């Protein structure tokens, strides 16, 4: 066995060229004191046959995911009713008091997954029957996420048929879902290690992020994060078609991986590599169509439900638009709307602002002294979408974790942001508990949302600063141009928005 090369090539990176956090970063130096001090001058880096950075990062990820599962475990506890039946114990606002809430549990019944003959996008039900807000409902998630839930429901039914456990079905369903979601996040960790090249230890931040501890099993976002990270790894390995397929699969779970295509477009335009971008984009669209087309053809109304609900929903509690409304009394762009009336003006404003941010990122990418890195632009686009969008569900922050680590691997800053973002969960749960039940008023929750948003804005500002001051970019200081760049890595500029001599590729 080749030392330190257990899961693929290391792209000719010598062990001696790796960045040692215990020698370069203040947080790494402080942490190293508890395990014997920093890396020694004569240490044999890369000669360990088993405990490679990849395996250590994956092991850390396993422990973090175990802790995350225990954090949600209170929400799958059961009790025995007076007639001897098992029931889910969500009495006395248990999900909010213990802060274990996860969408996976209520969706099992809400999306009719517990029904033997149900199938996502085909099965319908009535919400608010007999009320003015009555409406016909279908599975509200993108196709891949919806099918993921359905397969797990069928696995749950099979598990029960085999008599392997005396537990309520929803508890088994949650555990099966959590198992696959944990594997998906480990794929994200794996991809981050392989992309980072000279800085593999940065992936520990992805493995043990406070956001993972809180939100790994809050919803199904780990699926899209894994596909996006794997797509970036394929692009980094100069495989544009597999990269596109993975990005398209990710977009079939959540739309945000498609933003990576926008980042790649402007970078490939600057480097004259549009042919590779075209191959990736075609592959991404083909993969998305392969997943979506059968459902759209067979059950068009059910397939459209995801788009309908996202168009019709109002500003979510975690969005900056709701913060402004609550603190100022402003009625919003659309004024007072009834339940599920489409906020058309808000939709147009958020779309316009996001397009403006995309244009600003494109101008920056084509005018910066050195071509920005893929992770830097990817992070800026996803962060801009979350900040401007009318919905920022708390688990969406997982999208940013691998991108942030690859874009700006400054451990103290990233851990500070991740902790702030993860702590939004506390006032959120206390707000849902209600003041009458010793919860917190909405102002505490919204105030922390503002702090979270400001932290993300600060990260964006630091990324932009490093784009325009590449000598401050820790990745480039380590000797790389763009580890995630693939064909862009070390490529010469072919198109710039301004005349003038470009800065050296490696400051």
3-state secondary structure of 371: coil
Which residues does 216 contact at the CB level (< 8 Å), separation at least 6? 64, 65, 68, 69, 178, 181, 182, 185, 222, 398
Question: Distance (Å, rounded) from C-alpha 114 to C-alpha 111?
Answer: 8
What pLDDT, on the 0 to 100 scale, is given for residue 506? Answer: 47
Interval 142-151 mean pLDDT: 97
Question: What pLDDT, in 10s, does the model give residues 105-138?
Answer: 999 999 999 999 899 999 998 887 777 778 888 9
Question: Distance (Å, rounded) from C-alpha 297 to C-alpha 495?
Answer: 42
Contact (CB, 8 A) for 95 and 106: no
Reported confidence tier of residue 498, pLDDT bands at 50, 70, 90? confident
What pLDDT, on the 0 to 100 scale, is given for residue 49? Answer: 63
Q: Of residues 19 and 112, which shows the higher confidence score?
A: 112
DSSP assignment string, 408-469: ---HHHHHHHHHHHHHTHHHHHHHHH-GGGT---HHHHHHHHHHHHHHHHHHHHHHHHHHH-
Question: What pLDDT, in 10s, does the model give residues 372-395?
Answer: 999 999 999 999 999 999 999 999
- Please state at what angle helix 221-236 crosses helix 143-161, rounded to 10 degrees: 120
What pLDDT, on the 0 to 100 scale, is given for residue 332? Answer: 84
Percent of the chain clearing pLDDT 70 (strictly above): 88
Strands 125-127 and 135-137: antiparallel
Q: Which residue, among 399, 367, 392, 398, has the nearest Cα to 464 in the 3D structure?
A: 367
Q: Which residue, among 14, 57, 9, has the nearest Cα to 405 in the 3D structure?
A: 57
Q: Of residues 31 and 101, which shows the higher confidence score?
A: 101
Question: Distance (Å, rounded) from C-alpha 339 to C-alpha 323?
Answer: 19
The 3-class secondary structure across 200-260, one letter per residue, is HHHHHHHHCCHHHHHHCCCCCHHHHHHHHHHHHHHHHCCCHHHHHHHHHHHHHHCCHHHHH
What pLDDT, on the 0 to 100 scale, is given for residue 248? Answer: 97
What pLDDT, on the 0 to 100 scale, is given for residue 418? Answer: 97
What pLDDT, on the 0 to 100 scale, is given for residue 183? Answer: 98
Contact (CB, 8 A) for 14 and 58: no
Which residues does 438 contact at the CB level (< 8 Å), separation at least 6? none
* Farthest-apart Cα atoms in the chain, separation: 81
What pLDDT, on the 0 to 100 scale, is given for residue 212? Answer: 97
Lowest pLDDT segment from 11-15, 105-109, 332-336: 11-15
Question: Distance (Å, rounded) from C-alpha 482 to C-alpha 236?
Answer: 9
Question: Distance (Å, rounded) from C-alpha 321 to C-alpha 332?
Answer: 8
From residue 236, alpha-carbon distances to 75, 105, 194, 486 in Å are: 40, 37, 9, 4
Question: What pLDDT, in 10s, does the model give residues 170-224?
Answer: 999 999 999 999 999 999 999 999 999 889 999 999 999 999 999 999 999 999 9
Reported confidence tier of residue 500, pLDDT bands at 50, 70, 90? very low
Interval 459-466 mean pLDDT: 97
Question: What pLDDT, in 10s, does the model give residues 399-435?
Answer: 999 999 999 999 999 999 999 999 999 999 999 998 8
Question: What pLDDT, in 10s, does the model give residues 237-291?
Answer: 999 999 999 999 999 999 999 999 999 999 999 999 999 999 999 999 999 999 9
Q: String of b and e for 62-92 (b: at least 16 CB within 10 Å)?
A: eebbeebbebbbbbbeeeeeeeeeeebbbee
Contact (CB, 8 A) for 379 and 464: no
**What torsion, rounded to 10 degrees, do the Cα atoms 215, 218, 223, 225 define?**
-30
Q: Which residue, among 197, 246, 195, 188, has the nearest Cα to 221 in the 3D structure?
A: 188
Q: Which residue, among 188, 252, 216, 226, has the nearest Cα to 102 in the 3D structure?
A: 216
pTM tops 0.85, yes or no: yes
Reported confidence tier of residue 20, pLDDT bands at 50, 70, 90? low
What pLDDT, on the 0 to 100 scale, is given for residue 246? Answer: 98
Lowest pLDDT segment from 76-85, 222-231, 273-282: 76-85
DSSP assignment string, 118-159: --TTT--EEESTTSTT-EEE---S-HHHHHHHHHHHHHHHHH
Compute the C-alpha angle 279/283/288, nearest 5°: 150
Contact (CB, 8 A) for 240 and 201: no
Say whether pLDDT at 8 is over 80.
no
3-state secondary structure of 59: helix
Please provide the size of the chain in residues.
Answer: 507
The structure tokens 């370069």 sit at 24
Q: Count of CB atoms within 10 A of residue 376's CB? A: 28
What pLDDT, on the 0 to 100 scale, is given for residue 13? Answer: 52
What pLDDT, on the 0 to 100 scale, is given for residue 60? Answer: 96
Say whether pLDDT at 329 is over 70.
yes
The mean of the pLDDT values for the chain is: 89
DSSP assignment string, 5-33: -TTS--TT--GGGS--HHHH-HHHHHHHG
Parse the chain into domains and list their residue ranges.
52-488
What pLDDT, on the 0 to 100 scale, is given for residue 335? Answer: 83
Interval 231-235 mean pLDDT: 97
């Amino acid at each position: 066995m080749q030392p330190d090369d257990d899961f693929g090539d290391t792209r000719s990176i010598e062990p001696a060229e790796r960045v040692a956090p215990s020698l370069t970063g203040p947080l790494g130096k402080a942490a190293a004191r508890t395990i014997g001090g920093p890396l020694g001058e004569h240490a044999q880096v890369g000669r360990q046959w088993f405990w490679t950075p990849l395996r250590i990062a994956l092991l850390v990820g396993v422990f973090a995911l175990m802790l995350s599962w225990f954090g949600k475990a209170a929400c799958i506890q059961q009790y025995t009713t007076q007639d001897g039946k098992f029931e889910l114990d969500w009495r006395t606002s248990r999900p909010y008091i213990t802060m274990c809430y996860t969408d996976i549990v209520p969706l099992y019944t809400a999306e009719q997954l517990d029904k033997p003959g149900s199938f996502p996008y085909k099965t319908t039900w009535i919400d608010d029957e007999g009320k003015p807000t009555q409406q016909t409902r279908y599975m509200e998630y993108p196709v891949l996420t919806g099918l993921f839930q359905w397969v797990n429901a069928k696995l749950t039914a099979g598990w029960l048929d085999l008599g392997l456990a005396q537990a309520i079905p929803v508890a088994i369903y949650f555990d099966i879902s959590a198992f696959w979601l944990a594997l998906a996040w480990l794929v994200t960790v794996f991809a981050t290690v392989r992309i980072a090249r000279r800085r593999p230890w940065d992936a520990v931040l992805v493995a043990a992020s406070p956001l993972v501890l809180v939100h790994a099993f809050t919803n199904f976002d780990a699926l899209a994060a894994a596909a996006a990270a794997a797509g970036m790894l394929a692009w980094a390995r100069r495989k544009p078609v597999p990269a596109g397929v993975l990005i398209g699969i990710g977009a079939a779970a959540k739309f945000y991986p498609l933003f990576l295509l926008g980042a790649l477009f402007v970078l490939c335009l600057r480097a004259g590599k549009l042919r590779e971008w075209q191959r990736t984009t075609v592959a991404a669209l083909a993969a998305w169509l392969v997943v979506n087309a059968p459902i759209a053809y067979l059950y068009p109304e059910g397939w459209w439900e995801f788009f309908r609900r996202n168009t019709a929903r109002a500003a979510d509690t975690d969005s900056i638009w709701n913060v402004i409304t609550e603190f100022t009394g402003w009625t919003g762009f659309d004024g007072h709307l009834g339940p599920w009336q489409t906020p058309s003006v808000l939709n147009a404003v958020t779309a316009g602002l996001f397009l403006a941010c995309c244009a600003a990122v494109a101008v920056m990418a084509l005018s910066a002294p050195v071509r920005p890195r893929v992770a830097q632009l990817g992070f800026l686009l996803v962060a801009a979408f979350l900040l401007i969008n009318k919905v920022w569900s708390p688990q969406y922050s997982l999208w940013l974790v691998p991108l942030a680590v690859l874009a700006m691997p400054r451990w103290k800053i990233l851990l500070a942001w991740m902790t702030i973002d993860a702590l939004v969960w506390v006032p959120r749960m206390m707000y849902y508990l209600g003041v009458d039940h010793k919860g917190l008023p909405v102002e505490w929750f919204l105030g922390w949302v503002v702090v979270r948003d400001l932290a993300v804005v600060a990260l964006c500002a630091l990324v932009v600063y490093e784009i325009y001051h590449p000598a401050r970019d820790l990745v480039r200081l380590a000797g790389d141009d763009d580890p995630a760049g693939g064909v862009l890595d070390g490529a010469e500029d072919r198109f710039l928005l301004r005349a003038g001599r470009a800065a050296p590729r490696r400051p």
